[in-house]
Structure 1
Amino acid sequence: MSKSLLLISRQAPWAGPSAREALDIALAGGAFDLPLGLLFLDDGVFQLLPQQQPAALQQKDLTANLQALPLFGVESLYVSNRSLSERGLHGQELALPVECLDDADLSQLIDRYDQVITL
């Protein structure tokens, strides 16, 4: 039986390779039917905004990777309500359907997974 994995993505899409690495791990895990969840926390919530323009920062666009998550079976997507609120964002303006969680729910979410990786 496969162990479940929760990836916590905390970096903005333009802050370095961590955001892309989290998505690559999620896509690879999904391709192998690994029970996997992806939590966007802190500046990681910026990955979920539509119409990003990474070329202006000489960065690669992560939109295609994000859109591919459900195709690879990665459908357990979560975001921190506090992280959204602290950045003036709202769940309904995000590019993907995600489950918005408060702090108590985040703790319970982390406890449900066998392994947790934070990037």
Structure 2
Amino acid sequence: MKKLTIIFRRAPHGTPHGREALDLALLSASFEQEVSLIFVDEGVLHLIPEQQPEIAGAKDYISTFGALDLYDIETVLACRESLQRFGLANNELTISVERVTSKNITEQLQAADEVLVF
């Protein structure tokens, strides 16, 4: 089984990158690839609940993160430093993530067969 790690690095709704990354994750998992997600830098902003992208003319794809369990995507990591920088605590996030250090992220990347950054 191929191990795919997808990194969310950019803020949501300003570009199509976040939506494309999520679509790729779900599609890859449906083809029985082992998919892991990592949220770093502004990418942690995907984890903020109750966003209203429609006001800015964007589609709401953030709620689709709730389907990760249905696709057996179990490894969801968020950079501890990035979460702190944006003042986000685990109990405030839309999905359950494991808060990790850059060392943990490096280990995850080394275990992956393929890494894609969005």
Q: TM-score, normalised by structure 1?
A: 0.93
Alpha-carbon distance in structure 2 between the residues aligned to 1:109 and 1:74: 14
> What is aligned with 2:102?
103
Cα-Cα RMSD: 1.1
Percent sequence identity over matched residues?
35
Contact residue 47 and residue 62 of structure 1 kept, 8 A: no
Alignment of 1:1-119 (within 5 A): 2-119=1-118
SS of equivalent to 2:104: helix
In structure 1, give the amino acid aligned to 2:34: P
Q: For residue 64 of structure 1, report the CA deviation from its aligned partner.
A: 3.1
Q: For residue 75 of structure 1, report the CA deviation from its aligned partner.
A: 1.7
Alpha-carbon distance in structure 2 between the residues aligned to 1:64 and 1:91: 17
Going from structure 1 to structure 2, the CA distance change for 1:16 and 1:106 (only over 3 Å counts) comes to same
In the comparison of the two structures, how many residue pairs are matched? 118
In structure 2, give the amino acid aligned to 1:29: S
SS of equivalent to 2:87: coil
SS of equivalent to 1:97: coil
Q: Deviations over 1:44-70 (max 9, x none)?
A: 111111111111111111133211111
- Structure 1 residue runs of 4+, over 3 Å off? none
For structure 2, the residue ranges without an aligned partner over 5 or more in a row are none
Q: For residue 91 of structure 1, report the CA deviation from its aligned partner.
A: 2.1
SS of equivalent to 1:16: coil
In structure 2, give the amino acid aligned to 1:47: H
In structure 1, give the amino acid aligned to 2:76: L
Range 57-66 or range 37-46, more displaced: 57-66
Alpha-carbon distance in structure 2 between the residues aligned to 1:8 and 1:63: 15
